[in-house]
């Protein structure tokens, strides 16, 4: 499986979660510094938007946000809370 295949598979599961948040329980987290063991523990049943391979997750196009963290590249997946309009999870 290529990295792109993995990204697409993860994006598919995240999109399914918009209709059935329980599918997030199948996405295990390892090495977490919190008590979260699945992606469901992080997102729960809160509504979110998913951005894949775009810079649309960054509403301020002049912002240098994530340059240091992501090395100046666009993250593969970004989960943004519909309630707070904040980007909550970055996946590269």
pLDDT, tens only, 2-61: 999 999 999 999 999 989 999 999 999 998 889 999 999 999 999 999 999 877 767 665
For residues 78-84, average pLDDT: 93
The residue range of the domain holding 42 is 3-91
Distances, alpha carbon 54 to alpha carbons 57, 58, 73, 75, in Å: 7, 9, 10, 8
Count of the separate structural domains present in the chain: 1
Would you state the pLDDT for residue 68? 58
Q: Over 80: is that where the pLDDT of 77 sits?
A: yes
Cβ atoms 44, 16 nearer than 8 A = no
């Amino acid at each position: 499986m290529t990295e792109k295949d993995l990204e697409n598979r993860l994006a598919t599961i995240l999109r399914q979660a918009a209709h059935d948040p329980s599918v997030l329980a199948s996405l295990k987290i390892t090495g977490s510094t919190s008590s979260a063991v699945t992606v469901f523990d992080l997102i729960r049943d809160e509504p979110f938007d998913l951005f894949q391979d775009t810079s649309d997750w960054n509403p301020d196009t002049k912002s240098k946000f994530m340059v240091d963290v992501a090395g100046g590249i666009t993250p593969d997946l970004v989960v943004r809370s519909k309630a707070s309009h904040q980007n909550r999870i970055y996946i590269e």
